[in-house]
Structure formats: structure tokens, C-alpha cells
Amino acid sequence: MFTKILIANRGEIACRVAATARRMGIQTVAVYSEADANAKHVAVCDEAVLIGPAPAKESYLCGDKIIAVALATGAQAIHPGYGFLSENADFADACQAAGLVFIGPPASAMRAMGSKSAAKSLMEKANVPLVPGYHGEEQDADFLHGQADKIGYPVLLKASAGGGGKGMRVIDNSADFKAALASCKREAISSFGDDKVLAEKYLSRPRHIEIQVFADTLGNCIYLFERDCSVQRRHQKVLEEAPAPGMPADRRAAMGEAAVAAAKAVGYVGAGTVEFIANQDGSFYFMEMNTRLQVEHPVTEMITGTDLVEWQLRVAFGEPLPKKQHELAIHGHAIEARIYAENPEKGFLPSIGTLRHMQSPSAVTFELGGTVAPASVRIDSGVREGDAISPFYDPMIAKLIVWGADRREALARMAQALADYQIVGLASNIAFLKRLVEGQAFASADLDTGLIERNQESLFPALQAAPDTALALASVALLLEEKAAAEAQSANRADPWGNALGWRLNSTLGRSLAFADEFTHAGDGKAYAARIAYQTDGWLFNDQALSLTARTGNELHIKLGERAVHGTVLRDGEQFHVFSSGLHYTLHYSDPMAHAGEVEAEGGRLTAPMPGKVVAVLVNQGQDVKKGEPLVIMEAMKMEHTIAAPHDGLVEEVLYAVGDQVADGAPLLAFKAAA
């Protein structure tokens, strides 16, 4: 077996590979950019080498630098993880030329399957059913427009070299085609260095089902069953599960055998995923093959009791597959949720910042057939509390994976694990994921790729007022903080005037604490007044008796009236984050002693919704525009975001040019609304 490998990646997959390597007694070398100098993957590997500045094109995508580091450190093989160079055939060839083992498929297989259009042509020759579409080489915009018109709308445009939902657009009518094509090509060239696209008929209510395949160098190839990845936003997976709900045994076998045939057709070696799009009637069509390990591979590991990274290492070393097809079986059900630093209420915009507080649910092991099986709650993460989520890379915080004896048990465990997840410092999708998992559509397995769009009302409910229990917890946390600060400053703790206990001679101290929820500034929220009266054994809170019954760090147990309440309260500046009953409330405290009057953003200036780069300016100074008309297109984390006119009006000044980097909240242009 290898004695040392280099991991040519970052984040949670680098940590994941390192964990298996350590268990197998294999030393690991990490590579990192300047932005990742203190990253978790650097800390968990045996060695780490700086390879360049923060932008991936100057670090993690520099194959020559990575190969040089591997040779200098004595690594025998390179594991590319997923993303970056994992499906780069030229890099695989370069590794082989340098005498290094590339822990992945042969370059020839990657070339055959790396282009969506070429792969579809190959599958067509093998009589694998394909979705109607155009997969050819011609890329003239007018020609592609004509092909789309022939296919019939809606049409799906996809980057031929793409993946992860990047470079994909659904077009509903012919009039929108040219603009969508230009946007698709920009995103494709930015993400993959190749702007070639293909066009397909967009199926209504399809399911996204993929088959995990594995092949060795001895000619053996098997499938490790399927994953349902239908729940998506912006064509990126949100929840994945295995096995696929409602999958009959004969269809599972048919899809598995088709996937193995596809892998054998290109001489595949290692871990790969053959992806299918399936109609509700069970018919399925080949979509693409990902020639690497997938983000969602843990759900397959959970139901099969395998370590797919270990399999990768053994196969790359020349060993046979650890199991044959008949030795594999499905045990239970697993679900994976991707925890992202993003704001679902703002169109899933990435959130940049520091993880000031992160509490993950604890992993729990269980017994299966008399042997210890994988944890029923598993966390794969590449960040720690105190780490920053930067604008340079994917904003994933962690993958949360749960196992249950059946889907019902797995759903319950996922809901509880999400309730136990706490993040402060930036926006996350945790609350959204909890609503998704507990929603009727997902719980009943009414699955298709449009599930989120179909359930907008329940998944994005109107803001609810914070309950009095959350306000009481925040109030107690504030009062305890004031008491501790007063005691620290008082020279005489017996002095009743300096201990912040609210003591008054022949009277009772009363005060009002002003809180507001996080959306108040946008006019969508609510302000709250907590009336506090100090008493000997606690307080009155809005005329209800309030007392502290126990405290462990930031976890408070209180009694409000006759109700026993507990929760965790963390303060971040003027924000109080209250985690209670599986929910997270963010309350802004208005400190009467602080300087009032924050400077408001200058009116009439449209601002950047996140840090990023300007990739298109669609208007000129002095131009009249209509409400909803696109003005500027920004790119952050390889996803495009369009800034549109909020009203009819006039563009008074364009403040940034194409290629400029802008900060979160920076004014992009001066805009005057029509009278």
C-alpha cells in the first residue's frame, strides 16, 4: 500500500480523505493557498505546503505546482478529491508522466465522459436512452437558438464540461434564449475554462437518480446501488438519500447494470457516478457521468457499510475490489444535508464571514447485525469554530449525514440533528433545511427537481414574531451579563449600588429592554419591549414571574410563569442569538447607552448583495430603465447574480467596470427613480 499521498484539494473532502489515510497508516501531504493557511485540512494532514495566492487559478488549479510538491515531499500518489483537478485528464496524464499514481480513473475515461456532449454520443451508440437534445460541436449562437426552437421549450442549457449546477439555465421561451446563452457561457468559462454548451428538452417533474459504480484494474466493475438527488436549488443538490424512495428491485438492477455497462465502455477504473434523469413513471435517461467521488458519497457508505475512499486507495494501488456484486446489500436508509453559508431568504446568496460560534450535533454509533456500523449521525466538515468563510471557494460549512433503520427513522434523526446545529457569525441554510426535511413533500417522498419551487409558501414562510420565551431568554442573558460586568468593576461587592441587582430603597426598579428581530430594518419585522421589574428572587417580565433555575455556560434554564424553558443564548455585538426548541432567533438589542443613529446607506445607490466580481454592466450612464430591467451582473463563488432596477428610473452614474472586485454593500451605480 502507499505510504504517503498528497491530497490536491481543500475543505471537507481533504479532511475526509486524510481521515481514511490515517486509519490505514498512510501519511498525508496537504496543499493550501494563502487564504487557507490556518484551514482545518492543513492541520489534520501530516505535512502542508503553500502553493499560491487565494484564487484557485493561482493555487489549487496549478497542476504543475501540485506535482512538484508531491515529488519534493516523497508522495507516491495524488488524491484529487472532487472539484478542482479531479476530472482534469491533462493533470492525470501529468501525474503518470511524473511517476505518480493519480487516484482516479484513466485520463482516457475522463476524456470520454468529461464532455457531456461526447458522453451522450457514446451512450447513444450503446443504446442507452437519451433525453431529446443537441449535443454536437457547433456553438454559433444563432445555430443553437435554432436547435432550441426545434427541441421545444422549456429547454435546458448545460455547460458541456460542467458539473455542480454551474453553467446551467432553464429557458422558457425563444425570446430569452440569447441572454441565457451568454450568461451560461460566461459562467462556464469562469468555472471550467470551456464555454461549450449543449441543449436538451427540459422534463417536467423529473427525478435525479445516480448510480455509484466502482471498477478495478483487473476488469471487475460493480454498482453500489443508487442515490436520489432530486431536491435541488439552482441545479445544485441540497438533500441526497440512499436508497431512492419507491425504487423497485427490477428497476434498480436495470439502472445498475446500465451504469456498469457505461463504465466498462470507457475502460473505467475507480469510483464514478452515472447520473440519470427519471420520469415519474419510472422511465430513465442517461444524463452524464461524474468521473470522481461525489459530494454525496457518504449516504452510499452508510447503507453499504463501506469506506469508498479506502476502496479508491486500494484500487489505485492495483488491488482487486474489496467486494463482489453479490456481496453487497442495502442496510437501512441514509440522508445527507449540505450545510451552507448562504441566505435562502435572499435567493441563496452566499454569506461571507467568521464562524463565531459553531456547535454540531454529536455523532452516535449504532449496532447492526452484531457489528458496529457507521455513526447514525455523521459530520463531514472542513471548518472549525473561528474559521472564516471566504469569497474564494464554495461556501459549504459541513455535510450532515444520518442513518436510520428505515426512511422514517432517518427523517426523524435528520430533523433532530438540524435542530441541534448552531451557527453564529454568518447566515446559514439550517432553518431552511429543517423546514424542507419536515415538509410534507419530502417526508412523503413526493420528489422531483422542482420540489423547492413547488413548495415556496411552506419553505419560505412569512417572518413570525419571536415568542416571549425567546425574549425572556435574551433578557436573562443580558441581565446576567450586566451583573457580571458590574461585579468585575466594583471594589466592594457588598455595595448595593454597584452590583446591578436592581436594589432600590423603598421602591422597585423597572426598566424596558428594547429588542428587534433581524428584519426590522427592512420593514418586515417587529420591535419588542421587554418590561423588567427587579425582585428579590428574579424579575417580572411583562408582568410574568421570571427566574433563572440553572446555567451551564451559555445554556440557560429559566422559569417564565409556570413554564420551564431552556435554550442557548450567544451575544455577537448587539445581536442576541437564541437557540431554543430547535429554532434560532436573532434579536437586535438597542442599547440606550450606546451612540444612536447609524449612518444609513446613501439613497439612490444600488448596492452589491455580497462580495464578488462585476462580470457584466448592461446599462450606460444617462440611460432610462424600467423596473426589473437587469443593470449589473455579479459573480460570487462561480455563481452569477443579477442586480435589477427596483423602479422605473435613470442611471445617473456607473461606479464599477467589468472585472472589478466589489465589497458587500458597495454601491454599484447611482440611480434616480422616476417621478
Residues belonging to the active site? 292
Whole-Å CA distances, 20 to 310, 314, 618: 6, 12, 49
Q: What is the rounded distance in angstroms from the CA atom of residue 99 to the CA atom of residue 232?
A: 40
Q: Strand pairing of 101-102 and 77-79?
A: parallel
N-to-C CA span, the chain: 74
- The 3-class secondary structure across 303-318, one letter per residue, is HHCCCHHHHHHHHHCC
Q: Which residue intervals of 152-241 are DSSP H helices?
A: 177-192
What letter represents residue 342's amino acid?
E
Judge whether 17 and 28 are in contact, CB under 8 Å: yes
Q: What is the rounded distance in angstroms from the CA atom of residue 70 to the CA atom of residue 98?
A: 10
In DSSP notation, 592-630 reads: TTSPP-PPPPPTTEEE-SSSEEEEEE---TT-EE-TT-E
Report CA torsion sign: 127, 128, 132, 136: negative
Place of cell 441514509: 334
Strand partners, 378: 401
Residue 600 is placed in which grid cell? 444609513
Q: What is the rounded distance in angstroms from the CA atom of residue 518 to the CA atom of residue 228?
A: 35
Cα 416 to the center of its chain, rounded Å: 19
DSSP tag of 76: S
185: helix, strand or coil: helix
81: helix, strand or coil: coil
Q: What is the rounded distance in angstroms from the CA atom of residue 658 to the CA atom of residue 531?
A: 52
